[in-house]
Each structure stands twice: as structure tokens, then as C-alpha cells.
Amino acid sequence: MRQSRYFIQTLREIPSEAEVVSHQLMLRASMIKKVAAGIYDYLPLGLKVIRKVENIIRENMNKAGAIELLMSVVQPAELWQSSGRWNHFGKELLRFKDRGNRDFCLGPTHEEVITDIVKSQVNSYKQMPVTLYQIQTKFRDEVRPRFGLMRGREFIMKDAYSFDIDDAGADVSYQKMYDAYKAIFTACGLAHKVVDADTGSIGGSFSHEFMVLADTGEDTIISCNKCEYSANVEKAVVVDSGEKENAALKDMEEVATPNKHTALEVAEFLGVDIIHVPKTMIIRCEGVVVDGREEDIYVACMVRGDHEVNLSKVKNVVKAKSAEFAEHYEVLDKTGCSIGSLGPCNMPLKVYVDNALKYLCNIVVGANKEGYHIKNVNLERDAKIEGYFDIRNAMPKDKCPHCNGEYQETKGIEVGHIFKLGTKYSESMGAKALDKNGKNIPIVMGCYGIGVGRTAASAIEQHYDEKGIVWPKAIAPFEVVVIPLNTNDDEVIAKSDEIYNGLLSLGVDVIIDDRNERAGVKFNDAELIGYPLRVSVGKKSLSEGRIEVVIRRTGEVIFLDLSNNLADKVKEILDTKVI
Ligand code: ATP
Ligand code: MG
């Protein structure tokens, strides 16, 4: 590619709308352009990266035996009604009507569409196992689209779905995708970790997330410092252990706590350890089956003052479809009291208590009366509770459930997510097949997603410096940039062209920066865009009988003598020294 004829307009200034490095650098390096919140154009350089990530994914999917297809983006409501998700997916699902007033949505994921395909085409165990995948645009109307390609509304996803006649087969299909995902992220040059994850709104029996490790990640990963266990904070199990405090139970006492709302404020005001001042929170649980009907219910949850409630665990304990903190007005409506003075005594809602509170006595709780708390509360004696559960976030130093190690915390970006779905969709949508005994049974499914744009963006979060992006070679927009430093010097141009053409014929993805610009401008752009290898050809170095090669990642400078076959040598450096 000749840069003078290409389409790159780099920016010097950091765009004010971009909070994270990958977003800033993708905008500055002319890779993407914002169209609307969470919606981006892929400019030529950005598209090259996206295509490279897609090709790595495609290669590994094919190797794992998955078969590519392409489904429609627009999906009819009937399919979503048949799985029961039309009413449950929430506002992320962008719904619209066609001219005939029929309901449609833009696909945020394709379980319904693929199940419908398989239902119509597969009716015997002999046609399975089969795993189908596509690489395609998804739309999710995210509440907070941000960070560029990291959390878009329109984004490219690879989604795969496996179909097996039984559970054992489904486990084999799952494992194949698990292995393929590891191979994909390794091939993209990304340090990553696989963690146990919650199944979320997709549903199903178990799941893993693939996390790219980066300090800027939105996800918190909990892992053991001794064994292999790691999990998303939403899922990480907290071991129920401790010893009951050995203190005489005192009598309850109501105390005024004017304008003290948080656990910390109340603890400081009363001169009590924060551990003894639990938080009581009201949580709205949607889709709970009550008397055979799905309803939205409100519950109170208590965790220690120094702990955080985990909504995903609450959702599972209450057997809800989703769980969210209730808004102020809902809390007032359901309890007659506002946030900050809530407590378990005389609470009109069911009270779920975190295990850690089992070991405490004489605690301080809100009195369900504005500006008052109650001292010396002992839950079993003074409140009616549903029981003790694991409903808090794991924290560093918590015990590992599998060995005698301790938890530690790191940040990560979720780039891939795999689910063992079981028969959730095949049952609701009637996708059945005959097993070996001639019995018509629901097909066992798995689903597997990778965010293509998010993978590219997370590569930047993991690989950048103050000058710009440091692409892993496998997904760099170009592997090598050749820079003629003096564009009015025939010898410089001839030598640069020779190296450029030589590299092209060796199959290297190379760009030549033949613009009539100062060397400094070209170097800055090359570093910003992040080409892994830079070859510079200048009048001065030619007169010294050599050219200069710089490895972007390490800054290592290598001089090549003109007597070499330069293209071969550059390719050799690229193959052996650049990652
Ligand atoms: P998150 O928790 O980050 O919203 P998710 O659990 O909703 O992700 P999945 O439904 O598992 O995501 O989708 C599969 C993959 O698609 C994710 O692992 C991620 O890489 C990507 N992805 C999901 N939502 C977005 C988005 N809004 N923008 C870009 N990529 C996304
Ligand atoms: Mg999501």
C-alpha cells in the first residue's frame, strides 16, 4: 500500500469524548469515526485490524469443525415470543415495526434464529453434533455505550451455536470451543484468563468468560493465589466460614442518628466498628415465579457494612430473571422508609442475609424510621429472615473454595463468553430430534460469542505507550512500514521501493509512507498507528551503506548493511524478533 494514495488522517490532539486509551488511539490513528453514540464507522486502517481478528477467529472455528453461515440481522418478534424472551430482554433489544405494523427487532444475539434453523433442518441424532457460526453485526441498545468499540450499540460479534443429542456430546462441543477460544486469543497476541461466569440473561447451566487482562478493564476477576480457580466477581464463591462472636446478647435500643445514612457515617457516629453496621438494601427481582405466575417482587438484602451486595447472586437466590437496586421512590413505596434508615426489624419485605452476618452479635441496623437506628440487634432473636446466603461480592483475601489459598483481584475486559445452554431454547421452541432409540427429545445446545471490535480495542489497552499503539503483529493494520526520509532523492526512493516491493513479493503486509512530509511527521504517525516494524531509508544512512530497522515494541534499532538482500532480512527480523 502506498500511503500517499491511502486514507489515513491522524489527529494530534486527544479527542475529548474519549475516556480510555484504546478509544483515544483508535480515533487519533484514523481507525474509526463516530456516527452516533455507540455507533462507529470502521475506516480503512481500523477495518484491516477487524478483518485480521475475524480471520484468526474464522481459521480457528473452522479448525474446530464449526461451520460458517450468515443469519439475518432483522428478527421477527414471533421468534422471540416463542423463546419467551420478547418480554424479558429489556431495553437493550431495539424493537421496531414494519409498514404492516408487525413487530421486529435488531438481533442482539441469535439463539432464537439459529434454533429455528436447526429445528427446520435437523431431526435425527445422525445430523449431530453440529456447530454453526457467523461473524456479523449485532445491535444492543446499551444504557451506557462508551469506550469506542469496547461497548458499542452496533458491534461485530462472532457467535457460534452447538447442537448435540445429549449432554455428554454437548460437553465435548463446549470443550472444543473453549480450546478454540484459547487458541484465538493467544494467536491475537493477548494475555488472557478464562474465568467462571454467571449465565446472565442468556440462561443455561454453566459458562466461562475470556478476559483480556488490562488495568482499564470494566470487569473484576477474582482468582486464587495458589490454585487455578478464577471467576468473575459476579460469580466468585464466598466460602461460608467464621466463628460466632462470643458476647452476651444485649437488649435492643433505638438511637437517633440524624443525617447519618451510610454504614460508615453511622458507625463513626455511634463509635462502632463498621463490620457491626450492616447495610440493608431493597432489590427489585423481576420474573419470579409466584403461584405459577411470573411476577416482579421486592426483597431486602443485608450484607456487612464493609461488604458489597452482589445482584447476580441475589438474582440466583431469589430465582429471578434479573435483579436491580430499587429506585428511591420504590423503596419508599414498599417499606414506608427511605434508603439510609432501613433495617430487618419489622421489615414488610422478605429479608435475605449474607452468610457473614451469621457470626456477628449485637449489630446496628436501620429502624425503618427516618433518622433512627437500633443497637444490639441479634437477627435470629429480633428479625424474621429468610435465611443466610452467599449474596456478597468476593474480596481480596477471602478464602479459595478449592484449596487453602486466598483470593486476589485483577481487572479484565470480557472479550469472549461461552455458555452451556442445555435445552432452554430447544424446549421452549420445540427443536427436537430422534435419539438412537427413536425417542424424540430436545436438542442440547451451547452458545459462544466473541466481540470482534472489543478484542481489537482490548489489544490496544494491553499494548500501548506514550507514543501510540503497539499492535501485536498478528492483528496490526500493516506489519511493516517503509519510510523514505527524503522524498526528493532518487536513490532513497529507489531503495525504498526495492525493499517495499521485495517485502510485498514475500507476502508481508507492508505500507510505504511515500508522502512528501517531514521525517518527524512520518515517524510520529508510524508510532501512533503502531506498525510493529519500521524500516527507514535516508540519504545519510545510504551514504553510510546501511538502512535502519526499528522494532516498535522494544525500540530496538537494527542496522542492515546494503550488501544484504534487504527484504529477506527485514522479513527475517519480522518473523523471529517481532511478536
Ligand atoms: P457485557 O457484560 O460486557 O455487556 P455480555 O455478557 O452482554 O457482555 P455476551 O452476550 O456474552 O456479552 O456477548 C458476547 C461477546 O460480545 C462479549 O464477550 C463481548 O466481547 C461482546 N460484546 C457484548 N456486548 C458488546 C458491546 N456492547 N460492544 C462490543 N462488544 C460487545
Ligand atoms: Mg451486555
Last residue of a domain, one of 454, 470, 488: 454
How far apart are alpha carbons 460 and 150 in whole angstroms? 11
Q: Could you tell me if 166 and 301 lie in one domain?
A: no
Determine, yes or no, domain membership for 464.
no
Q: How far is the CA of 346 from the centre of ligand 2 (A)?
A: 37
Q: Could you tell me if 496 and 528 lie in one domain?
A: yes
Q: How far is the CA of 396 from the centre of ligand 1 (A)?
A: 26
Look at residue 194 in the predicted model and tell me its pLDDT. 94
Alpha-carbon distances of 544 from 331, 486, 496, 520, 538, rounded to whole Å: 78, 15, 16, 21, 10
Determine, yes or no, domain membership for 404.
no
**Residue 441, amino acid:** I
How far apart are alpha carbons 18 and 40 in whole angstroms? 13
Atom of ligand 1 nearest to the CA of 449: 14
Residue among 39, 142, 157 to mutate when testing ligand 1 (max atoms within 8 A of CB): 157
Last residue of a domain, one of 389, 419, 443: 389
Q: How far is the CA of 81 from the centre of ligand 2 (A)?
A: 21
Which residues, at least 6 apart from 26, have a Cβ–Cβ distance to it below 8 Å? Answer: 32, 46, 148, 149, 457, 460
Residue nearest to atom 11 of ligand 1 (CA): 417
How far apart are alpha carbons 391 and 311 in whole angstroms? 8
Q: Could you tell me if 82 and 204 lie in one domain?
A: yes
Domain extent, residue 110, equals 50-237+409-454
Determine, yes or no, domain membership for 465.
no
Residue among 207, 421, 454 to mutate when testing ligand 1 (max atoms within 8 A of CB): 454
* Number of Cβ atoms within 10 Å of the Cβ of 295: 12
Determine, yes or no, domain membership for 91.
yes
Q: Could you tell me if 135 and 279 lie in one domain?
A: no
> Exposed, middle or buried by CB within 10 Å (0-12, 13-18, 19+), for 467?
middle
How far apart are alpha carbons 182 and 190 in whole angstroms? 10
Q: Could you tell me if 306 and 191 lie in one domain?
A: no
Q: How far is the CA of 157 from the centre of ligand 2 (A)?
A: 12
Determine, yes or no, domain membership for 462.
no
Determine, yes or no, domain membership for 328.
yes
Tally the domains of the chain.
3
Q: Could you tell me if 214 and 350 lie in one domain?
A: no
Q: DSSP alpha helices (H): ranges in 64-192?
A: 77-83, 111-121, 167-187
* Number of Cβ atoms within 10 Å of the Cβ of 291: 5
Q: Please count the CA atoms within 13 angstroms of the CA of 402 that sit on its side-chain side.
A: 12
Q: Could you tell me if 213 and 343 lie in one domain?
A: no
Q: Could you tell me if 198 and 93 lie in one domain?
A: yes
Q: Could you tell me if 88 and 230 lie in one domain?
A: yes
**Residue 467, amino acid:** K
Q: Give the CATH number of the domain where residue 89 resides.
A: 3.30.930.10
Look at residue 258 in the predicted model and tell me its pLDDT. 93
Q: How far is the CA of 451 from the centre of ligand 1 (A)?
A: 6
Residue nearest to atom 13 of ligand 1 (CA): 449
Determine, yes or no, domain membership for 307.
yes
Look at residue 201 in the predicted model and tell me its pLDDT. 53
Atom of ligand 1 nearest to the CA of 210: 18
Q: Could you tell me if 257 and 213 lie in one domain?
A: no
Last residue of a domain, one of 389, 422, 441: 389
- Pocket lining for ligand 1, CB < 6 angstroms: 109, 140, 142, 151-152, 155, 157, 200, 414-417, 449-451, 453-454
Q: Could you tell me if 367 and 495 lie in one domain?
A: no
Q: Could you tell me if 275 and 221 lie in one domain?
A: no
Determine, yes or no, domain membership for 12.
no
Q: Give the CATH number of the domain where residue 569 resides.
A: 3.40.50.800
Look at residue 197 in the predicted model and tell me its pLDDT. 83
Q: How far is the CA of 208 from the centre of ligand 2 (A)?
A: 15
Q: Identify the segments of the chain with pLDDT beneath 70.
A: 199-204
Residue nearest to atom 28 of ligand 1 (CA): 151
pTM score above 0.75: yes
Q: How far is the CA of 51 from the centre of ligand 2 (A)?
A: 23
